[in-house]
Structure 1
Amino acid sequence: MNILIIGPSWVGDMVMAQTLFQCLKQRHPQCQIDVLAPEWSRPILERMPQVRQALSFPLGHGVLDLATRRRIGRSLKGQYDQAILLPNSLKSALVPFFAGIPKRTGWRGEFRYGLLNDVRTLDKTRYPLMIERFMALAYEPGAVLPQPYPQPRLRIEPQSRDAALAKFGLELDRPVLVRCPGAEFGEAKRWPSEHYAAVAEERIRQGWQVWIFGSQKDHAVGEAIQERLIPGLREETANLCGGTSLAEAIDLMACARAVVSNDSGLMHVAAALNLPLVAVYGSTSPGFTPPLADQVEVVRLGLDCSPCFDRTCRFGHYNCLRLLEPQRVTEALRGLEGPEPVNVLAEVD
């Protein structure tokens, strides 16, 4: 049984999609799973043992280009028994339709009747979590999802990890705290840089080093965090935002002793690496896309105005993040690691 997955367009969603792949392998151990998705997702998919191959989709998010979709579909004719669509858009249904895949499964979305022939109606109260909505597509309509739910797990090759360490001149002589201060969704998911700096200072004084990950757009945030640290501590941080590929970021993050992250794609990567993780939530909710790992502490204030799921604060104050003090995160980190480490750099001031 060959199955084509039409993958999502966000890092976190792609990580969470592994729960679907795991369910498919549980139901059909001999099935072969290919994923058609943007090229950026290849490093994630290559680290999922359930995926046979990642197929690069050349069109950007929101681009129709009917001719290209038809060409890709026709190139896939006769290769698959089923297609499962994770996006709900009409555009995402075109390639499986042009490919003539016999069974085309997905949630009822925008005008997809005829394009899909296994159309599901989503009951959001029955499946409140995104992973539940992904996993349900592996089963017959109305099926009870088996418990416990699978957790995403990325596979790291030591050779690629060591190559990334050498490329960026990083050493593992001290424990590593990874911070992911970015959020592609918008400012309403970004914990303030001064709070990240306070957590970094506490860890560095205890003998840790700090690595900062994110996209090129997050580089300025990484610099702002570094600039808030005094000389002697600042040198213990590495701002890698925009400097690494996604593959390198994943491999380097696997070296961490702990991670502090906004609700972002990299938060889900950290969870899929099963790292001790403190997840900071502001405008969004862990009730929909929680990090899936064994050692997770979610920190949020739960103000009356949150979660709002807005990209920017409608009131302009961002209190759900600004008022969330660094002490809450440092306490959560201590809870994940056990006894408080010795303050070996207390003399730095």
Structure 2
Amino acid sequence: MKLQTQRWIDRWVGQLLCSAVSLWARLLGTRAPKVDRQRAPRHILVILLSEMGSIVLAGPMFKALREQYPGVTLHVLQLKKNQEVARMLRLTEDAHFHGIDDSSPISLVRDIWRVSLAMRRLPLDAVIDCELFSRVSSLLCYMSGAPRRAGFTPHTQEGLYRGSYINCAIPYNPYQHISKQFLSLVDALESNGGPRHKAAPIRELPAETGLSVPFTPEELAAYREKLLRDHPVLVDRKIVLMYPGGGILPERAWPAAHYARVAQGLCAQGHAVGFIGLKEDMALAQDIKQQVGSEQCIALTGYTRSLRELLMLFHASDLLLTNDGGPGHFASLTPIRTLMFFGPETGKLYGPLPGPFGPKATVYESGIACSPCLSAYNHRLTFCDGDNQCLKRIAPDPVLADALQALREEPATA
């Protein structure tokens, strides 16, 4: 289903349904949590419908839930297309993953009904809605049947109504990194109810994601051998990966000409450049490759068949240049150095966390007055009409200098 269609349904149909459910909850008296505070939650549902990169940023939240509630059974509700990441990261047992198909309005409604019935059959004690102001996640939160319902409230923000039945609510804070806000949702489960939870402890930005994907040395060595066999031009060169695509939000992409300029400089110094992405990014990769005009520049779009293979590619490479999005967050789970570009959104809220190999990311932002422009309050709709000056003004030559310096500092991948 197209993103604009999802937004339209969420805005108009979602608000109507949230109003109806709020009235229903008021009549039944189910808005306030009726729970035994002496009994810790044993079954918790986490709703994470957003992009795959946010799953990595939610890692500290899952760690905090397990630490605060030892022995807890975690259930995870996601869009089916995003489940590969969560399963790879072992956020919970396979039997406790639940998916929704959003490929069409019919499949979306069908799966919402199916999942809601399945959730009510579970012995859920609590649910955490990690979405900011999505109405569908708010409705799923109530329909789960869990007595404790934690989520974000817009407080007095106009036009962001999502019902009044989130009974362990906290104010969304646009000045705090999203990982800290996910942790605040854990704190909200111990709230005494009411529309806003104010007694949360001080939370520091997590020192790491708390996530890892184990590989054996033999597995990594075999993959690197395959990579070099398939692309001999990479042999005896440091490998720089670039992700020039914008995904579902094209305005997040650093200009293709800037990527080409950096790639030209890297190839001139004897390094190899590979463009990554989905198969639909092939045309963009080929266009940039043509601009570069070097045999040391290759297209790897569609080369990896799974996210696990993408992580092995990161292990086999030396540097990643990427737009804001999933690859930059997945890279934090590997040793690769990362240069990441933000503009319509900001690294202050969505920057990658350090992973098991330590802090390896550098964030670039131009800092012009209109940046960042995408937020939970405008449903991530920008006013720049594709002219993303915030990213165009991040000049390629300083990035090239940083990339060359990073390659000098990093030992060659074994």
Task: Work out the CA distance in 2 between the residues paired with 1:308 and 1:241.
Answer: 31
CA distance 1:331–1:30, shift in 2 (3 Å):
farther
Gaps of 5+ in 2: 1-41, 155-160, 189-196, 375-379
Aligned to 1:122: 172
1:84 corresponds to 2:131: no
1:321 corresponds to 2:394: no
Q: CA deviation at 1:335?
A: 4.3
Please give the per-residue CA displacement for 1:226-279, whole angstroms capped at 9, x wherever unaligned.
11122xx23542331486444433332332211111112222222343531111
Q: CA deviation at 1:37?
A: 0.6
What pairs up with 1:54-69 in 2 under 5 angstroms? 55-60=97-102, 63=105, 68-69=111-112
The percentage of aligned residue pairs carrying the same residue is 21
Task: Work out the CA distance in 1 between the residues paired with 2:77 and 2:222.
Answer: 28
Task: Work out the CA distance in 2 between the residues paired with 1:150 and 1:301.
Answer: 25
Count of residues paired in the alignment: 337
When normalised by structure 1's length, the TM-score is: 0.82
145-154 vs 278-287, which moves further: 145-154
Aligned to 1:290: 351
Please give the per-residue CA displacement for 1:84-126, whole angstroms capped at 9, x wherever unaligned.
1112323213444334223222112633323x3323333445x
Secondary structure in 2 matching 1:139: helix
1:28 corresponds to 2:91: no
Aligned to 2:215: 157
Q: CA deviation at 1:188?
A: 2.6
1:137 corresponds to 2:194: no
1:111 corresponds to 2:153: no
Gaps of 5+ in 1: 343-349
220-229 vs 138-147, which moves further: 138-147
Task: Work out the CA distance in 2 between the residues paired with 1:253 and 1:316.
Answer: 30
RMSD: 3.3
CA distance 1:8–1:164, shift in 2 (3 Å):
farther
The structure that is helix-richer by fraction is 2
Q: Which structure would you say has the larger Rg? A: 2
CA distance 1:95–1:235, shift in 2 (3 Å):
same
Q: Which of 173, 184, 194 in structure 1 is aligned with 2:257?
A: 194
Q: CA deviation at 1:207?
A: 3.6
CA distance 1:341–1:3, shift in 2 (3 Å):
closer
Q: CA deviation at 1:169?
A: 2.8
Secondary structure in 1 matching 2:76: strand
CA distance 1:97–1:321, shift in 2 (3 Å):
closer
CA distance 1:48–1:228, shift in 2 (3 Å):
same
CA distance 1:129–1:223, shift in 2 (3 Å):
same
CA distance 1:145–1:27, shift in 2 (3 Å):
farther
Please give the per-residue CA displacement for 1:159-202, whole angstroms capped at 9, x wherever unaligned.
77677664893577433211111112434321122221222233
What pairs up with 1:1-349 in 2 under 5 angstroms? 1-53=42-94, 55-60=97-102, 63=105, 68-76=111-119, 77-87=121-131, 88-108=133-153, 110-114=161-165, 116-125=166-175, 128-140=176-188, 141=197, 142-147=199-204, 149-152=206-209, 153-158=211-216, 166=226, 169=230, 173=235, 174-230=237-293, 233-241=294-302, 244-293=305-354, 294-309=359-374, 314=384, 317-339=387-409
Task: Work out the CA distance in 1 between the residues paired with 2:383 and 2:223.
Answer: 37
Please give the per-residue CA displacement for 1:258-310, whole angstroms capped at 9, x wherever unaligned.
11111122222223435311112233222221122302222232223333337
